[in-house]
Amino acid sequence: MGETFGLHLMLDGYDCDRSKLADADFIRNFLNEFPEDIGMTKLMSPYVSRYEDADRKRWGLSGFVLIAESHVSIHTFPDEETISVDVFSCRNFDIEAAESKIVEGFGIRRIERNILDRGVEYPKDFNLAREIISIEREQCGLRVAEA
């Protein structure tokens, strides 16, 4: 990947282990351990919630953990045996290791993987970023706070 703000791994899994997709405790534990497994810093305990559509025909679990580098989210649909996982980090990470951990953890048999370079135009230098923001605020007629 190029010089970017960070990587965003989007993984959709099919033919997954239904029992794991339906287990809120399993998902919470996965999200609790996963950041450290990929070298990230967890900032909070994971949050997992159940979702049901209005007709109660489709349901799933969604989980999220905030990391210092950004976030990890999981959305499961047990009846369809599918999962969607996003791992976004402002720091590079081993995509293959992260994918392997997810695939193994949820018993995924088929995957669809997309990777984005995020923030290609983000300044890498904090002082340069401050200067750019200051100029843009002046152009918009906004008051610039002193640092």
Whether 34 contacts 86, CB under 8 Å: no
Range of the domain at 28: 6-121
* Token representation of residue 39: 């070298």
CATH number of residue 86's parent domain: 3.60.90.10
Task: Of 17-21, 36-40, 80-84, 120-124, give the lowest mean pLDDT range.
Answer: 120-124
* Residue 8 designated active-site: no
DSSP state of 91: S
Dist. CA 40–CA 38, nearest whole Å: 6
pTM of the predicted model as reported, rounded to 2 decimal places: 0.78
Residue 102 lies in a domain: yes
In which band, very low, low, confident or very high, does the pLDDT at 98 lie, cut at 50, 70 and 90? Answer: very high
The residue among 53, 59, 58, 62 whose CA lies nearest residue 27 is 62
Count of the separate structural domains present in the chain: 1
Residue 64 lies in a domain: yes
Residue 133 lies in a domain: no
Q: Which residue is catalytic, options 75, 89, 134, 140?
A: 75
Residue 142 in this model has a pLDDT that exceeds 70: no
The model's pLDDT over 79-94, given as tens digits with 9 standing for 90+, comes to 999 999 999 988 888 9
Residue 78 lies in a domain: yes
Q: Which residue is catalytic, options 70, 73, 100, 140?
A: 70
* Residue 16 designated active-site: no
Residue 139 lies in a domain: no
* Token representation of residue 106: 């949820």
Residue 143 in this model has a pLDDT that exceeds 90: no
How large is the average pLDDT for residues 25-33?
Answer: 98
Residue 128 lies in a domain: no
In 3-state terms, what secondary structure has residue 25? helix
Residue 118 pairs with which residues in a beta bridge? 6
In 3-state terms, what secondary structure has residue 113? strand
Residue 62 lies in a domain: yes
Strand pairing class (70-77; 59-67): antiparallel
For 104, phi then psi, to 5°, come to -65, -45
For 133, phi then psi, to 5°, come to -65, -40
Q: Which residue is catalytic, options 90, 100, 134, 140?
A: 90
Residue 1 in this model has a pLDDT that exceeds 80: no
